Structure 1
Amino acid sequence: MKQLLLDVLAAPAPSLENYVAGPNVEALATLRALEPGRAVYLWGPAGCGRTHLLRALSDRPGAVYLDSHSPVSAYRRAAQPEESDVRPALIAIDDLHLLDEPRLACVFSLYNRWRETSATDIALSLIVAGERAPGQLEIREDLRTRLGWDLVFRLEVLSDAEKTDALIRQAASRGLQLAPEVVNWILTHYERDMRQLAALLDALDRYSLAAKRPITLPLLRAMLAEQPQPSTIQSYSSLS
C-alpha cells in the first residue's frame, strides 16, 4: 500500500472548481467571469488561496504565470513583447511583495500596456497578488496607485468551521462518512491547505477500499504509519 500512498497523496492541480471559496465567493465569481481588459489585485495572508487562484487561471492556453522565481527576462517579454512574440491573453503575477526592483519595473510597464490595450482586440487580463493591500505595500508609489486601477479583493483564510464543513461535504460527495474524531484529528495534525486536505481524503478513500475497512481513526493512523514521506504531514508523532 506504500506505492498507493505515493500515487494519491500529491495534491490535485489548482483549479477554480477545487478552490473552497468560503468568505471569498465574490472574488471567485469575478475570476470565473473574467474578461479581457480587466485587471484584478488579490491580497490576503498566507493560506488564503492567492497562489491557488493564480495557478488555476494561468493553467490554460494563452496564459502566463510569473512569481519571484521567474527570470527578469520573462517579465520583460510580458511587459514589452516583441512583434514576433505570442501575446498571452492572461498574465498572472504572484507574490508582488517579494519582487525586486527590476521585476517591479516590469510590472509597472505591464500595467501601462494593459491600460493602453484594454479597449482593443489585443486586450489582456491582468491578475496580480500580494500579501497586503496596495496602500500597505512597500513599493514604488506609481505602481501602488496602478494596483487600484480596476478591481481589488481581499481574500480571507477559511475558518476551522468552514474547513470542517468543506471536508465533510467533499467526503459526502464521494459517498463517505467521516466520524467527528477523524475530522478533528485531521484539522489538528494535518496540513490545512484545502488541496492537501482533499488529497488526504482521496488517500483515505482508496486506502479503506484496499484494506476493506471503514474510515476510522485507527485506519487513518495505519495509513499515515505507512506514509513513506512523513514530511508532508505537519505532525503525527502523537496520535493521542
Structure 2
Amino acid sequence: MTQQLLLDILPGALPTLETFVAGVNHAAVDAVRTLTPGHALYLWGGQGSGRSHLLRARAQDPDGHYLDARTPAHWLQSLATDEDRVLTLVAVDDVGELSDAAQAALFALFNRWRAAASTPDAFALLTAGDRAPLTMPLREDLRTRLGWDLVYRIEQLSDDDRAQALHDRALQRGLKLPDDVLHWILTHYDRDMGRLTTLIDTLDQYSLAQHRPVTLPLLKALLTRQHPDPASHHADAGRTSP
C-alpha cells in the first residue's frame, strides 16, 4: 500500500519545540530553543530526523522566516539585502538543494548576519541540511559559513524511541493504540516523527468520525482514502514567504 501524508484529512498542528521528540538530541533542541540574535546554528541529519520540524518551530517567532529549496531565490535575496526589513530569525532548510541563485542569496544573508551580529539589528540565523557543513554540495565560501557558529547533528530516533513517542501521543489523546497497529505503523509507514504524529492524530479523528475503535483494518481504510500518487508526498508545508 502506498504511504500517504494525511494532512488533507486533518491538518497537523504547527510544529513546536514542545512536540519534538528529542531522543538523544536534547542538546541540539536546547541549542535551537536558546538561539538568540547575533548567533547562528546549523543542524544536519538524514531524512526524517526532524530538522525541518525544529526550523519551522523557531520560524514562528515574531518577524521569523522559514525558507527552503522550493522558495524562490529572490525572496531569500530580499532578506539578505533589504536592510529596512526587521529580522529576528531566518531559518533556511535543505541548503544542499539550493539553486546557484539561492546559494548566492544565502551567502549574502550570512554576510548581513555577521555584520549585524553586535548591533541592535542583530538576528538569529538557523540553517539545516542532510550532511556536515564541509561535505555539503555547495560553493566553497558558503560551506565554510555554515560552520561559522554552532553545528549540531540530529540523530535518528531508535525504533524504541519512536514506539514510545507514538504510545505517549495516543495516551495524550485518550486513544487506545493496539500493539498490532503500532507495529504496522513502525514497519510500514514514514520514519518522520512529524508525519507519524499527524497519522496518530488523524487516526483518532477518523475513529471518532466512523464510531469504530482503532484497529488495523480501520487504519488501512484511512490510508486508502488518500490520493495514490506518491509524488504528492512532501514534508509539512511551512512558511515560505519572506
**TM-score when scaled to structure 2?**
0.83
1:238 maps to none
RMSD between superposed Cα atoms in Å = 2.4
Counterpart Cα distance in 2 of 1:151 and 1:136: 16
Deviation by residue 1:96-115 (Cα, 9 ceiling, x = unmatched): 11122322222222222212
1:44–1:50 CA contact under 8 A, matched in 2: yes
Conserved 8 A contact 1:12-1:195: no
Output the amino acid matched with 1:205.
D
- In structure 1, what is the equivalent of residue 14 of structure 2? 13
**Partner SS, residue 126 of structure 1:** strand
Q: Check if 1:163 corresponds to 2:162.
A: yes
CA contact (8 A) 1:8 1:202 kept: no
SS in 2 for 1:75: helix
**Structure 1 equivalent of residue 227 of structure 2:** 229
Describe the SS at the equivalent of 2:125: strand
Give the aligned partner of residue 195 of structure 2. 196
Once the two structures are TM-superposed, the CA of residue 58 in structure 1 deviates from its matched residue by 1.4
TM-score with structure 1 setting the length: 0.84
Question: In 1, are the aligned partners of 2:95 and 2:127 still within 8 Å (CA)?
Answer: yes
Gaps of 5+ in 2: 1-5, 234-242
User: Superposed, which structure 2 residues align to 1:1-240 within 5 Å?
Assistant: 8-82=9-83, 85-225=84-224, 227-231=225-229
Q: CA separation in 1, counterparts of 2:105 and 2:7?
A: 40
Checking the alignment, whether the CA contact within 8 Å between 1:9 and 1:200 is kept in structure 2 is no
The structure-2 alpha-carbon separation of the partners of 1:105 and 1:213, relative to structure 1 and needing over 3 Å to count, comes to closer
The one-letter code sitting in structure 2 at the alignment partner of 1:117 is: A
Q: Distance in 1 between matches of 2:228 and 2:141?
A: 46
Q: Distance in 2 between matches of 1:124 and 1:81?
A: 14
- How far 1:171 moved relative to its partner? 0.9
* In 2, Cα distance between equivalents of 1:104 and 1:223: 41
* Structure 1 counterpart of 2:123, one-letter code: L
| Amino acid in structure 1 at the alignment position of 2:180 | E
1:74 aligned partner, one-letter code: W
Q: How many residues align?
A: 227
Letter in 2 for 1:184: H
- Overall identity of the aligned pairs, in %: 49
In structure 2, what is the Cα distance between the partners aligned to 1:6 and 1:64? 22
C-alpha distance in 1 between matches for 2:146 and 2:120: 23
Which structure is larger by alpha-carbon Rg, 1 or 2? Answer: 1
- Larger displacement relative to structure 2 (196-205 or 8-17): 8-17
State the secondary structure of the residue aligned to 2:161.
helix
Cα deviations by residue, 1:19-49 (Å, 9 ceiling, x for unpaired): 2222221111111122111100111111111
Which runs of 5 or more structure 1 residues have no equivalent in the other structure? 235-240
Alpha-carbon spacing, 1:144–1:211, altered in 2? closer, same or farther (3 Å): closer
Q: Distance in 2 between matches of 1:162 and 1:112?
A: 39
| SS of the residue 2:183 aligns to | helix
Contact 1:114 1:126 (C-alpha < 8 Å) held by counterparts = yes
